[in-house]
Structure formats: C-alpha cells, structure tokens
Amino acid sequence: MSIDRGDIPPTRDSVPLGLRVSAALGWRFLVVVASLYVIGVIFGRLASLVVPLAIALLLAALLAPAVGFLMRHRFPRGVATVVVLIGGLAVLGGLLTFVVMTFVNGLPDLAAQLARSIDAVSGWLVNGPLQLSESQLRDFVDRIVKTLQDNQSGITSSAITTAATVGETLVEMLLVLFALAFFLYDGPKIWQFLIRVVPGGPRRRVDVAGRRSLAALVSYVRATGAVAVVDALGIGIGLAVLRVPLAVPLAALVFIGAFVPIFGAVVAGGVAVLIALVANGPVTAAILLIIVIAVNQLESHVLQPFLLGRAVKLHPLAVVLAIASGLLVAGIAGALLAVPLLAALNSAIRSLLSEADEHVAPADVRTSEPEESGPDEPGLDRESGEPLPG
C-alpha cells in the first residue's frame, strides 16, 4: 500500500529553522511596535493631562529633598509641603519677573541696534560687491510688506489660536500645582496604593524598582540643574564681558535650554550668538561662539559624566531618539520630559533584571526623603502593619 506524500501535513521540522526564527522575531517585533504606537497615540491624545503630571513629578523630585530636610527638623509633612511650595513659587515668580523686566527694558536698545544693522547691511548690498540698486531693495521690501498683508487673516487666526493656547496653559499650570502639592504631601501613600495592583509575588521587586527609579529621577534633576547653572553662568559671564545686550534674559534662556540634553544648550547658545552678531558685529559673535562651544564641551565631557554618574547613564543615541520621540508626541514639553522619564525607566528596568536587588528591602533604597512611619517601616508587614516574624 503506497502513501501519498501530499496527504501528510507539514511538520515543524519541514519548516526551515531560519524561517521559524524570522517569523518568531517578526511577530514579536510587530507586537512591540504596535504597543508603542498605541501608547504614543494615547499619550498624544491625553497630552494635556500627561504633560502636567510629568512636570509635577519632575518638580516633586526637585523639591522633595527640601521637604525631607524640613521633616528631619521636626516640621509636619503638611507644613513642610506648604513652605516648600510657597518658597518655590516665590523664587520662580521673582526670577521670571526679573528676567521679563530686564528683557523689556533692553528691547528698545536691541531694536535700535537692529535698525542700524539693517541699514549697514543695506549699504553693503548697494555699495559692496553685489552692487544692487536702491530700486531693487525697495522692490524686495515691498514684496515682504505685500506678503504680510496677503497673509493678515492667517496671522490674525494664529493670534486667536495663541490666545486660546494661553488659556489652556494656565489651566495646565494649575493642574501642575495641584498635582505637585499631592505628590509632595502624599507621595509615599500614592506609591503604596499603586503597587497594590501588582501581584503579591513580584510586588517587593516592583517596589524596589520604583524606588530606584525615583532615586534616579532625583539624581537626574539635581545633576541637570547643576549643569544648567554652570552653562548659564559661563555663557552669561561671556555675554556680560562682551557687552551683548539682554545678557540676563539670554543666560536664563540658556539655563532653561540646558534641561533638554544635547540640543537645548546648543539652540539657546545659537540664539545668543545671533543677537551678538546683530548687536555687536561678527567679531563679538565669533568670540561668543567659541565660549558657547567651550561651555558645551565642558558640559559633555566633564559635568554630565561626573554628576550623573552610572545611576542614570544613558547612551547618546538613546537620548537623541528619546528627545525626537518626545518632540513628535508632545512638542517642546515632550522633548523636555523625555530624557528624565527615560532615565527613570532605565533605572527601574535595570533593577528588575538585577539579581542583587532581589534581596534588597524597599526601605533600604535611599530616596530623597525619610520613610513614612507605620506599616512602611522595616520589620512591619505592608498589608497588615503587624511585625514580621524573626
């Protein structure tokens, strides 16, 4: 009796090994990409909620050491939270007021210098090697004016959109303050509530990983703040020595831009160089460019490796991709928040994969503030608050 080979279904061994491995990797890759896409879409739709919460989390990481300091000096947590919030708002409001007033006071001089620079450029175009006629320049200016008039409706609608954006920004700022107050006051309780959804077996590891990610976030915010101060002082002193107008607002811009790694300080320094070129000429701009490059090199090769250390060390490619992804999902705020959140996620994943952290108690992980008393103390069960045996 003969057997028709065509009637026998194919077995696993009949599929080439390379095809099986490629298929297994392929569908897993598609699942990961689809998951990341869905997460990106959700975050994009909820950006007005996610971004304020993320900013509040960063500010909480920055201000939590101050709350912990006051608590160690016998201040109640509520009083410490109120003092830190009011003090932080006072410092931030005073700094913004100083920067804005300095910018407004220096703006007329900059506008006058800009007009003189435009006249000098026009004279060079007429009398220089290009030998343009005044009628050609006048036609060029008329075209610019006509273009602005033709797009007046678009400019008006953009202004209305900007006004609506200002209203949304105010609402988001209130949400940041509201979330920040609760993160500072009830942070440990909120975390304990969140990890209750984790099954009992891996809950201890997840708790340790979360605390390590918080410690990494605190370290990142502290180190980035120190780097931003050094960048702002270095470039600000250069601006002051070279007598470039608006030195203080430009230094503040460098400070804010330094919180976006790689790109932020470069863009802010480029703005300062352009203003120096308009206000003081090419020689001053070239000197300032050298200062900006020197400060950026100091930041990249000395400050960041020394201050950030191994706890939040990220590959430059990962930083660039994180900033680009954050920019696509949530704009400038996404670019600002991408790297610190990536640092926290990186620390949490490393903790979950580390065999050494398997035997670490959550209370032994040093974060930015003292532990709450009660069921979270070492030696007490987290669910019942009863003493552990032994």
In DSSP terms, 380 is beta-bridged to: 387
pLDDT for 257 equals 79
101/246 Cα distance (integer angstroms) = 11
Main-chain phi, psi angles of 374, to 5 degrees: 110, -140
R_g (Cα) of the chain, nearest Å: 28
Q: What is the mean pLDDT of residues 269-273?
A: 83
- pLDDT confidence band for 153 (50 / 70 / 90): low
pLDDT tens per residue, range 160-173: 454 456 667 777 78
pLDDT of 388: 43
pLDDT score, position 130: 60
End-to-end CA distance of the chain: 74
Domain boundaries defined on the chain: 205-357
Q: What's the pLDDT at 13?
A: 62
- The whole-number average pLDDT for the span 281-285 is 84
- Separation of alpha carbons 13 and 8, rounded Å: 13
* DSSP-derived 3-state class of residue 80: helix
* Alpha carbon distance 15, 206 (integer Å): 40
Mean pLDDT of the chain: 75
Q: Residue 77 and residue 71: Cα distance in Å, rounded? A: 6
pLDDT on residue 163 = 46
* Whole-angstrom distance, CA of residue 224 vs CA of residue 114: 34
* pLDDT score at 377: 40
| pLDDT per residue as tens digits for the range 117-152 | 666 666 666 666 666 666 666 676 666 656 655 555
3-state secondary structure 58-78: HHHHHHHHHHHHHHHCCCCHH
pTM of the model: 0.65
Query: Quick one: tokens of 16?
Result: 């080439």
* pLDDT tens digits along 301-327: 777 677 665 556 677 777 778 877 777
Q: If you average pLDDT over residues 104-113, what whole number do you get?
A: 68
Where helices occur in the chain by DSSP H, the ranges are: 17-45, 47-72, 77-127, 134-150, 152-194, 200-241, 247-257, 264-280, 282-298, 304-308, 316-353
Q: How far is CA 358 from CA 57, 198, 354, in A?
A: 26, 16, 7
Average pLDDT over residues 71-92: 87
Percentage of the chain modeled with pLDDT above 70: 68
Residue 92 sits at φ, ψ, to 5 deg, of -65, -45
State the pLDDT at residue 199. 83
pLDDT at 290: 92
Q: What percent of the chain has pLDDT over 90?
A: 3
Complete DSSP assignment for 169-222: HHHHHHHHHHHHHHHHHHHHHHHHHHGGGS-HHHHHHHHHHHHHHHHHHHHHHH
Q: Among the ranges 51-55, 78-82, 132-136, 279-283, which has the highest mean pLDDT value?
A: 78-82
Choice between 41 and 239, residue whose per-residue pLDDT is larger: 239
Residue 30: pLDDT band (50, 70, 90) is very high
